[in-house]
Structure 1
């Protein structure tokens, strides 16, 4: 067997710790054919995920089976093409959704959670319900509203929904823009005292919630922490820092044990 005198490629070592496209190698001044084909496949898959329809009816049944009340809403974007070309329409509710969205009663502790397709309906479908099941037992200080299933939705749509519902806070679980190696990443955006016109600087975000990213348990832990601190501070966004430390093994182990018991 011939021995190679070429120095080891440090990028190959890094590739063991990340799904990112590193250590791809080269053939002359180009990439290997296998890598180019893999890139094309990943790009095509990401595009397919963006255009995949949101299975709100299926998720409604799953929520019902899990004991959650829910209702469907949609933005002013009439289809996927318009949603992609007009982000502003995805931030506002369709007129026909507003009339029946007002709550029958008022609660000063209401928390509205929105599950939205965003740019990855796959992420919303695969991860939101599991996260909700872990999150619900920890929301003892809140009155959980009906779960809103939002189609053709942008992040800011949650603020309008929360304002109409009279929520103290709103959390929107939304599919994030697919990447070449992660097409099912879920983001959680929190706004305290939501209303139309809130800026990105007035929200907190927990991103990359998925099996190969941030765990459901840690995402739930951080959300509960941010909700508690938002109430104490009376605000969210740049003024609210996530100083939670999830490295507390007892908390982690207990949450994972509870999740395993539910499954």
Structure 2
């Protein structure tokens, strides 16, 4: 009579399984013979589906517009040269250019917060407004404008800044989704932005999501970059955030 094999004999745990409590990365998955356990295969397929959905998610423009109006700051809407989502994915260059320069008013702002979908629009839909509500009350001494642009890339902030005569931009954008972070928000800041600005002149705060950087911590870092950019009149690789120095981050 064949001996019954218990589940524990053929589903083998990885000896490094305790590391999974420290990271959302796919580590220490165990094995079933020469393969992954079915549970882990199905989990990967589910997360992969979430990632694909994130890339094709849409900016909730009407809902965001209503929420932006309630903040009681000037709100501007822009459109890039991209016509649809497929073109956005195939032509990154078009997401960096405005469809037309139609603003006739030379407004003049200290800071523009620019919301754009990027590669994960739901990150903007869910996290942009909470972040603005966290940071704006702490920026009393600046003239601030809010912008929303569909199908934008990071560099779209440069053309918008030129349109509205802004000294500083903070572009809130949906980051390229990962299997463990399909709704990750990124913030790119630039002092004295203008068309042709290269990326080494920007600072980035990334991985703002439920398993990553919190809204509160992101707001703290953003406030630091704003303060130091205006004080030193620069941004990018010459401006570093030393999170170990609490005096710099506590305003």
TM-score by length of 2: 0.89
* Alignment-derived partner of residue 99 in structure 1: 102
User: RMSD value over aligned CA atoms?
Assistant: 2.5
Give 1:256's aligned residue: none
Q: Which residue of 1 aligns with 2:3?
A: none
Give a deviation string over 1:156-207, Cα, whole Å, max 9, x none. 1111111211111000000001111111110000000000111111100000
SS at match of 1:115: strand
**By how many angstroms is 1:3 displaced?**
9.6
1:22 matched to which residue of 2?
A: 27
1:39-90 per-residue CA deviation (whole Å, 9 max, x = no partner) reads: 1111111111111111111111122234344232121111111110010001
Please give the secondary structure, in 2, of the residue aligned with 1:124. Answer: helix
Aligned to 1:217: 216
1:229 aligns with 2:233: no
Structure 2 residue 62 is matched with structure 1 residue 60: no
Counterpart of 1:116?
116
Q: Matches of 1:182 and 1:223 in 2, distance apart?
A: 21
In terms of fraction of residues, the more strand-rich structure is 2
- Alignment partner of 1:137 is 2:142: no
Q: Which residue of 1 aligns with 2:197?
A: 198
Structure 1 residue runs of 5 or longer lacking an equivalent are 253-263
Structure 2 unaligned segments of length 5 or more: list them: 1-5
Residues in 1 aligned to 2:89 and 2:18: alpha-carbon distance in whole angstroms: 38
Q: Counterparts of 1:1-263 in structure 2 under 5 Å?
A: 9-95=14-100, 98-100=101-103, 102-107=104-109, 110-145=110-145, 147-245=146-244
TM-score under structure 1 length normalisation: 0.85
Distance in 2 of aligned mates of 1:228 and 1:251 = 11
Corresponding pairs, count? 244
CA displacement, residues 193-236 of structure 1 (integer Å, 9 cap, x when unaligned): 00011111110000011222111111111111111111122211
Q: Which has the larger radius of gyration?
A: 2
C-alpha separation in 1, matches of 2:250 and 2:224: 13
Q: Distance in 2 between matches of 1:114 and 1:181?
A: 26
CA distance in 2, matches of 1:130, 1:200: 26
Q: Classify the secondary structure of the residue corresponding to 2:21.
A: coil
